[in-house]
Structure 1
Amino acid sequence: MRTVERVVPSPSRIGLDLIAIEPGTDIALDLRMEAVSEGVLVTGTVRSEAVGECSRCLEQFTEPVDLFLTELFAYPNSVTDQTSEEDEVYRVEDDLIDLEPVLVDAVGLELPLQPLCSDDCAGLCPECGIRLAIAESGHGHDTMDPRWAGLAAKFGAGSEEPSSEIDSMNNEEK
């Protein structure tokens, strides 16, 4: 059994489209590697920080990544190696184990598909696109149903001065 505590830079972008651990970001590994009959069992914690874009308001934010790993790396010619598909289990190659694919898989499963900067993020105004978190209280837009726009334009609705047709109708009534 061997314990390993290291801080290593991320070799590549690890994560999803909207949120990931960026290349060069420190990844803290606190691992325990044990020789078992079928290979090397790696257990421990991985800590880092992911950078993401909120799926509602599109603001950039950071989120801590803290996950627990348990993975078996099979020895060459072990029963596990012989009875498993190639991509079903990780393998010890030349007395080395490659943790990068394990981290890619674990981080990808841990991160949210639709990340949010906060649980109560209000998002963007659908009319003007301003972030609702910074908009004034009661932010809204007076919009008219486009099916009524032609009729409203004919009778001057929404303008401060009545249209000439409305004036002529009013004069006829008097």
Structure 2
Amino acid sequence: MASTAGLVVDIVDLPQQVGAIKNVHLETSAPADLGAEMIGAQEDSPLIVDAELTSLDNGVLVRGSADVHLRGQCVRCLRDIEEDTTVSFDELYFTPEAAQAQADEGDEEADELFTVGDTTLDLEPALRDALVLALPFQPLCRQDCAGLCAQCGQRLDDLPADHHHEQLDPRWSALAALLPEQEEDPEQGERH
């Protein structure tokens, strides 16, 4: 996956001495597909990231948070959802040598480790993983959202409390076809 330039941090000025710290503040736009299918960051919406990068023997520890504008749909009524949230993340970015050492030791997940570049560090993968884990599995517009009417498809919250549909048992439909049409006599109020 291509990285978003706004989330790539220059680490040339981060000393390689263990414990050295660099603070980063980024104001950029959210990349595409940052989130899950039903809810995620709206592409090109403002994205503010604050992170602390700490040098370690085998890489860089990144502790950060991001303010994200989310957009999605309620899984019950399909109403649009928009909200702002803050997601936190802690990730270790390995040096290429340390990642290779993990692979040489038989670590099956070594190819999925985050790695630092020669002079840069891409925050997008860490942010992407943290946001997906923080998002609701089934987003709702409200916890007590009633959803949609199974017969007409309208939002139950917008319909009167006594909303219902007359439904005949489908097993009797063949017999109903045998009965003649009945009309109501307005003067007598009876059916003929």
Both proteins in one fold, TM over 0.5: yes
Q: How many pairs align?
A: 162
2:69 aligns to what? 49
Gaps of 5+ in 2: 1-20, 104-108, 186-190
Structure-2-length-normalised TM-score: 0.76
Greater shift, 35-44 or 100-109, is seen at: 100-109
Q: Output aligned runs, 1:1-174, within 5 Å.
A: 1-78=21-98, 80-84=99-103, 85-155=109-179, 159-161=182-184
CA distance in structure 2 between the partners assigned to 1:5 and 1:136 by the alignment: 50
In the TM superposition, residue 75 of structure 1 has moved relative to its aligned partner by 1.4
Indicate conservation of the 8 Å contact 2:51/2:65, yes or no: yes
In the TM superposition, residue 156 of structure 1 has moved relative to its aligned partner by 5.1
In the TM superposition, residue 115 of structure 1 has moved relative to its aligned partner by 1.2
Q: CA offsets per residue over residues 121-153 of structure 1, 9 Å max, x none?
A: 101000011101111121111110111122234
Q: What is the letter of the counterpart of residue 27 of structure 1?
A: L
In the TM superposition, residue 31 of structure 1 has moved relative to its aligned partner by 0.7
Pairwise CA RMSD of aligned residues? 2.1
1:171 aligns to what? none
CA distance in structure 1 between the partners assigned to 2:47 and 2:100 by the alignment: 29
Indicate conservation of the 8 Å contact 1:74/1:81, yes or no: no
Greater shift, 84-93 or 118-127, is seen at: 84-93
In the TM superposition, residue 90 of structure 1 has moved relative to its aligned partner by 0.4
Gaps of 5+ in 1: 168-174
Structure-1-length-normalised TM-score: 0.83
In the TM superposition, residue 86 of structure 1 has moved relative to its aligned partner by 4.1
1:105 is paired with a residue of what secondary structure?
Answer: helix
2:162 is paired with a residue of what secondary structure?
Answer: coil
In the TM superposition, residue 63 of structure 1 has moved relative to its aligned partner by 2.9
Q: What is the letter of the counterpart of residue 135 of structure 2?
A: L
Larger Rg: 1
CA distance in structure 1 between the partners assigned to 2:122 and 2:134 by the alignment: 20
Q: What is the letter of the counterpart of residue 134 of structure 1?
A: D
1:148 is paired with a residue of what secondary structure?
Answer: helix
2:14 aligns to what? none
Q: CA offsets per residue over residues 5-32 of structure 1, 9 Å max, x none?
A: 2221112221111111121111111111
